[in-house]
Structures are given as structure tokens and as C-alpha cells.
Structure 1
């Protein structure tokens, strides 16, 4: 027998012996710690090799180990009897085996849409009696910096001190901030200093040369975010003029407001007065009858009484009523007659004084009524 063929037979026998005695083996995951951003996906590796002596049913289980050792493990996903079972409610529909047939030796899993709460230690357990092995992987899920805001604090005037501030509303700490200038002299002012932890860029004795666009970058282990701010350093403004303008504007506003209130009050009073006058007119008593109508009725009654008199029956009345002119001997001398002339009063004035108009019948010379 040739020496070469004998050596080959020896190698085959050694391989067969090792295969018959080899037990279940797990590959060590590399790396053992993974860092991912929230919203991303991750693959947790777990590969194994079985031996001829491993004759039991293959059983694969992934579990999330609690931080407190006193608590029990939380099963995530399992493979047993050619079936897959999901056990963790929080990871439901977000975790699956990467291989369609884990029996081939690949028990790796993939988790999608990672959340910060998914951080922890994951354990892969492969059991095929009589063998059973475990491997662990640490997963850290971070939140990327987001909603970063830049702004200037302080007066943007020559010779003044001011600060450029940068802050991210979201992001897993620690966050580091860096500042840079994008326009003009692309260097930070020589009188400036900034803190990488707080994101504050302090500028002393500002100059117009410091004007320009500045950028702040916020970063952590899994991502970055940035914001821009415009710095415009100008000469000092006329503060006294601004104050005077503000005071004048306030006074004018108060004057206009007072005028509006006055007009409203005046209009309200006029409206109220009109309503009161209309109310008084409605409740007023009807005026009394005028005296002129009474006088007319009285005159009419006299006319009716006089109209019934005739010359025959007026004879006695005329003789007894109208006496002849007295004789001269009984007549007073004209020199001794009173010289009194009654004042003349107009008819309208007599009506106002309450006089009643009366019609006197005319007479002939013999005293008879016409």
C-alpha cells in the first residue's frame, strides 16, 4: 500500500471519530454589544452546529433578561417542532427569525422599528438533548438628536456681550455641541468661547466683523442634528427715541380710547332721553276745551233769544229799558263832567283775559231794536 493512501485513510477515520463525538456548539457573537438608533432595525446573531449524539428535538428560544436578577426572563420568540411562537407583547409583529428554517443552524433574529425601551440584554438558547447552550448580546437603542434650536441672547450692538445658544429638544444624552461660522471670516470670533456640553457660545465686546451665519451641530452616539442662526452686530440704537415714541403712542391710544368711550356714553344718554320723552307724551292728559267754543255757544244762544223778539213785543222792553235823554236841569255841566277815557283793549287780549264776546242789537232813534 502506498504511503499517501494510508495517510488519507487515517484522516478520514479521524474525521469520522470527531463527528461522532462532537456535541452542540454555538458561535460567539461578534460584537457582543450593539448600538442602534430609534426607528432603525438590528440583527442579533445566533448560529449553532449539532453533533450526531444530539438526538433530541431542536428547541430555540430568545429572551430579554431583566436588569433585576430577582425577576424572571421575558420570552421574545421561540422555535419548537417546526413552529414559531412570539411571546413578548411589546415586540409583537416587530421580531422574526432571519432564516426560514432555523434547523439549518441559523437562529438569528431581526428586530425592526427599534424603540428606546428595547434596550437590554438578549439571550439565545439552543437546546437539543443532551446538549444545551446560551449566548448573550447587549443592545443599546439611542434617540437621535432632533428639534435643535439656535438663537441669540443679548443686545446685538457693538461693544456689547452676547451669547449664541443651541439646544436639542430630543436625543439621548450625552449630547455634544459644536459651533462654526459659515459666512465672512469662517472663524469663530477671537473673543468667543463655547461649552460642548451646554451648547452656549459666549461672545464678548461684539464687533461688526462678528456678523454672519453661524451653525450649531448636536450629536450623540447614533446621529446628528443642526440649526442655523444669523448674527447682525449694529451700532447702538437711539433708546431714548424709542422710549419717547412708545410713550406717545400709548398716550394717543388712550386718547382715542377715551374719545370712543365718551361718544358711546353720549349716544346712550341721547337714546335714553328720546325714550323718556316718547313715554311722557303717550301718558299726557288731553287738553281742556278752549273758551272760544264756549263763547260761541253763548253768543249763539243770545242770537236765538233775540231773534224771537218782534217789534210788537219789544215795545215795552224798549220803553222801560231805554229812557229818554235826561233833561238839561239834571245834566251836569260839561265842565264838571269827568274827563275819564277808558283804555282801549284789543279783542285778542280780551279773549286771553277771559272776556266773553256778546253781540248787542242795534237801535233806532226811538229806541226800537233793528
Structure 2
């Protein structure tokens, strides 16, 4: 027994060094780990089959499934429960292990031990579970304008290493991949990083990053739009033009308002100027006093002379009174000319009439004085 234990320990320590089969599968695939024997011919009652799993060389082995005393025993861990079984007729000689829907934790070394009495067989299989790269994330860093420089970045958060990255341009509806522009450089130690120098509008377009490993590949796209510097200037010109138009419209409105106001003011002044020139007051009409019976003759003669005076004075005033339709400058000019042409016409005529009346009726004044 001690010798057998030593042999088992030596055999167990040499599993990793003497593995004969290596299988590589992708996550979520199914796999069959082979194990064949001919020990079933020696009798089924003494046949014993065991599958052991070591996730790491330094970890303790765990039994996955076994057959003994004509019964099947399952000993999977929690992650493999319900996913592990014998692949075929293990009694007839095919004791292969079947694992469905692989997970990254299923990767490791599996050992198949078959014995029947003193006959013993050991097979070892190393299983590698590859994980596809997760969908990478693409982004840009830098100034997207003419003459600027930008950096294209790409990174997958998960996946079996090593993961390789490659950038390419995409054109057309057919999604045809093309080479990067001449003014670009790929990082030597980090191919996921691409630098674009001295940008122009020719650099605008769709860029695609592909992350690849042994399990497969995933892609991501980023749109690059290079802006012209003239666009910024054009926007400034447009804004300035709009502001100029607005200021011009405001000035036009202000000018129209001032013009209308000046016209209204001039019209009011023209309407108020003629009202300042008023007509001269009419001379008071002579009141005629009815004479008494005793002095009717004298008073009639006096009234005659008074009416004559009144008529004369009215005639002079009519000559002196200007037309009310004349403006102030016209009125003053006419008044000056009239005074220069007829300086004493009315005064002479009035004095003559007064002298004649006094000469004709000498006793009339005495009669008025008596009264």
C-alpha cells in the first residue's frame, strides 16, 4: 500500500508534464474530452472510471463524474452542475466526458482514470476555453478642424489575450475596408491607438476598429468629420451682416419717425401764423340823436356833417385796413408802401370837411352848447 500511494503521487505530480491532448474551444460551445479503454472485457463489476479536474496546477483536483459498482456518480462543482455527463457507452470502452455550453471557468486539466482489478489506464486532456473579445469601444481625441491632429482609440474590456487591434477606413454601402491615410501612424506598442496628422476634409469619413483573438473578432465604428476653419469665419460674417441689417432697419425707422414729426410741426406752425394777424377793429358808428322840435333844423345839419365825417373816416380806415389773407411779411410791406404813397390824404380831406361844416353853419355850435 505505501508503494502504491507513492506511485499515485508521482503519477499525479506528472499530469501537467505528460499531458498528451490539448483541446481549444470557444466560450458557449460544447466539447467532448476523449477517454477510451478496453478494460470492460475483464468484467463490469470490478470496472471503475473517474474524471478529475484541476483548474490550476497548484490547486487540489476535484472529481467531476465517476462509475463504480455498476453505478454512476456525479461530483461536479457548482459551476458545472447539470452540464457534465458521459458522452457514450463507457462500459463498452468509450468513457469520454461531455461538457456543454462551456464557460471560462471550465478551462484546466482533466484526467480520466480507468481501472479494473490490477489493470490501470490514465489519459490527460488540457482544455482551453477561449473568450471572444467584447465589443470594443471607439472614440477620438483632439481637435477635428483643418490642420489639427487627432487620435483614434479602441479597447475591448474582456476577451482572451492576446487581443489584436486593427484600424481601417470604411467606404460605400458595401462597407469596403480601406487603408488608413498616408498622414497617419499606428502605435508600435499599442496598435489600438492611431494618430492622424495635419487633418483636411479628405480625412473625413467612417473608421472601423477590429479586435481579434483566437476565439473571434468584434468591431466598432467612429465617424470623423473635419470642420473647415472658414466655416467659423463665415458664421462670424453672417452674424455681423444680420446685426448690420437690424441696425440699418432701426435707423430707417428712426429717420421716418423724425421726418413725420418735423412735417407735423411745420404744418402746425403754418396754421398758427395767419391767426396772429388780426383785422383792425371797425370804427365806432356814430349815434344819431333824434332832434327836438325846436332844434330839428340845426341838429339835422349837424347830423349831416357827422355822417359825412363818419363816412370819410370809414373810407380812410377801409383804405388803411389790409386784407386778412395776407401773411405778416406781405402785410408789413403793403403797409409801408401805402404810408409812403398817401401820407396825408385822409387827414386833409377830413380837415377840409370840418372847416366847411363850421363855416356853413355858424350857429350850430352855439345851439349845442346851449343844450
TM-score of the aligned structures, taking structure 2 as reference length: 0.52
- For residue 158 of structure 1, the aligned residue among 146, 149, 171 is 146
Map of 1:167 onto structure 2: 155
Structure 1 residue 239, shift from structure 2 partner: 8.8
Give, in whole Å, the separation in 1 of the partners of 2:19 and 2:170.
42
Contact 1:176 1:197 in 2 (8 A): no
The Cα offsets for residues 147-199 of structure 1, whole Å up to 9 and x where unpaired, read as 31112211111111101111112212221101111127932110112237451
Higher helix share: 2
Over the residues paired in the alignment, what is the CA RMSD in angstroms?
2.8
- Secondary structure of 2:91's counterpart equals helix
| Shift in alpha-carbon separation, 1:197–1:44, aligned structure 2, 3 A | farther
Size of the alignment, in residue pairs?
A: 213
Written as runs of structure 1 = structure 2, the 5 A alignment for 1:137-286 is 137-183=125-171, 186-195=178-187, 197-236=190-229, 238=232
The 10-residue stretch of structure 1 (152-161 or 59-68) with the greater mean CA deviation from structure 2: 59-68
SS at 1:157 equivalent: coil
Structure 2 spans left out of the alignment, 5+ residues: 1-17, 240-371
Aligned to 2:53: 64
Change (3 A) 1:239 1:97: farther
Over alpha carbons, which structure has the higher Rg?
2
Runs of 4+ in 1 over 4 A off after TM superposition: 51-56, 239-242
- Which residue does 1:335 correspond to in 2? none
Task: State how far apart, in whole Å, the 2-side matches of 1:52 and 1:107 are.
Answer: 14
Specify the SS of the correspondent of 2:214. Answer: coil
Distance 2:117 2:62 in 1: 23
Superposed counterparts of 1:316-331, under 5 Å: none
How far apart, in 1, do the equivalents of 2:146 and 2:77 lie?
A: 61
- Measured against aligned partners, the alpha-carbon deviations of 1:101-130 in whole angstroms (never above 9, x if no partner) come to 311110001111212111111101111112
Q: How far did residue 33 of structure 1 move?
A: 1.2
- Counterpart CA distance in 2 for 1:178 and 1:155 is 23
Query: Unmatched 5+ residue regions in structure 1?
Result: 1-28, 246-370
Q: Which residue of 1 aligns with 2:92?
A: 104
C-alpha distance in structure 2 between counterparts of 1:241 and 1:222, whole Å? 51
